[in-house]
Structure 1
Amino acid sequence: MCTFYFLTCRAVAKVECDQEIRLLALAVIQTEAQAVAALAEQINAEFVSACRLMLACKGRVVVTGMGKSGHIAGKIAATLASTGTPAFFVHAGEASHGDLGMITRQDVVLALSNSGETEEIIIILPIIKRLGVPLIAMTGNPSSSLAKFATVHINVAVAQEACPLGLAPTSSSTAALVMGDALAVSLLQTKGFSRDDFALSHPGGSLGRRLLLKVADVMHSGSAIPVVSQDALVSQALLEMTDKKLGMTAVVDPENKVVGIFTDGDLRRMLEKNLNVHSTSLDQVMTRGCSVISAEILAAEAMQIMETKKINALLIVDEQQCLQGALNMHDLVRAGIV
């Protein structure tokens, strides 16, 4: 009985502890959500002025900060750079030890400090002033030294940190991050930054491949295209399919114009009818009116066409409907178009 009672108490305590953990996590999310919502009041004339300074910048936006603000500054710099506003991060602690040389008179400086009194930033303000570089300050204290010194000040003050001790930067760092995103996206839209522009700065990942890679880059061309004439026998088509290993073959007329396609599926349907592959003309069993695409469309569009039409292969043609290439789903998967 005592053992049962002890185990029951432990189980109840564990449930109560789990519930407390969930409540604590929810409180953090709610506190930070409120801090972000309150930022709407700060999208004002100062915010617009900051955007105007960065739009007029002939050099780079130099983003700086220390500690957690430094981490947020680095992310803001990366977001700006990837969305059409050339930017880079300078560690405030290193700035007074030589890295100030990275800043030119053509630049704009965006400095982050929740207190607005970060020593490593305050110490470099006279140099920024001497260079005549516009300074945008993002702080949680409009009365701070940094805010007063700045050309433009963006207020990211929060009512409270999500940390119950009120010490660890939580709500304040989230607010700064969101305000940075607001700046970057506002600049992106104002500049007319396009999907193609975005792709040029993201060539390495799957996103870049989806936005840049064209069908011409991944299709089989020349002697690698499986192709037979429309008067060929099914057995000849099978030899071509086996040789080119794409699970299909294009069927063309004497002028190399596509008249149809013969696939694994067509072969299965033919065998169900007990037709002889050595005597049956391809013209009798191929798929006419097959889907064809241009080599200049994005590979991602080809993938979408295949998924929508539930097919595994496409033929590529020119403006005269002459065969240029062939493509199957595996080619797109290998290219990273997923």
Structure 2
Amino acid sequence: MSSSEKQQIVLASRPEGRPAPSNFRLERAAVPVPAEGQVLLKILYLSLDPYMRGRMSAAKSYSAPVEIGQVMEGGTVAEVLESRHPGFKAGDVVLSHSGWQSHALAHGDQLRKLDPAAAPLTTALGVLGMPGFTAYAGLLTIGQPKPGETVVVAAASGPVGSAVGQIARIKGARAVGIAGGPEKCAFVRETFGFDVVVDHRAPDLAAQLAAACPDGIDVYFENVGGKVWEAVFPLLNPFARIPVCGLVAQYNSSGDFEGPDRLPIVMRQVLSKSLTIRGFIQREFVAEQRPAFEREMAAWIASGAVKFKEDIVDGLDQAPEAFIGLLEGRNFGKLIVKI
């Protein structure tokens, strides 16, 4: 690839069910030239996140889908190569939303400068970025854990789930994690410090979760759905709070769901137990809570109260397969592509 060319991965077709490599296409294009107020970025790191599956679909959602032939979207850490904006200069490192490509243009007002000396740059896409903020805002605003309460979170080895459990413990609650496989369960318990971890692959998941939560569940941070929700639901205490930020177990599903209609049962329990179930998108809380999050999370990391794990893949061409693996739980930690 010459210095005047860039690489980009576009959406080649919309997936039916599980995405396939054929749904993506690697292209080359000319490196763009910045206009007044813009900067030219060289992408260093790309974040891969479950929400991207929804952008591949044309179904109505809270954000517009990626169009066929359009660059896949995603958060990035980038270096400024050329600037026509007074607030940035060549060599600055910034947080952007430039998507799956090696170079991009961005307006200066869409960027946030990063200090490479303050924290590893990749953390701006993970524990100090959108996933960490999702955990912080959703748990503290909607979940509101109190000392002595039980907080349960699935995908506990991932960037959101691991932060949820550690923040819960900081607030004096008991953290119960659900993860996939012995290695991840051990890491969540021993490194992230959860009180109990249950393997969602266990055939007796429901019984193990009930044993791990003898006093029921006061907060369930929902980011998976599926059989995990079915195991959690009977254990919810009166006045339990359920922040809902994702349903990754259902992202590859299409058409009607199998099995009986459970909605009447759910709604009866919502009423009889006075449950609070609230879906949220982290951007709802950015204006009011982002400064406090950045201050508190940085302090928790510095003190060792919050730890994190990253799963870094080399090469933009590896992004499609890595993303497919993310939806199947093959990653271990925050999934990032080093461009």
Under a length normalisation based on structure 2, what TM-score does the superposition of the two structures give? 0.30
Higher relative contact order (CA 8 A, sep 6+): 2
Which has the larger strand fraction?
2
Greater C-alpha radius of gyration? 1
Which has the larger helix fraction?
1
Under a length normalisation based on structure 1, what TM-score does the superposition of the two structures give? 0.30
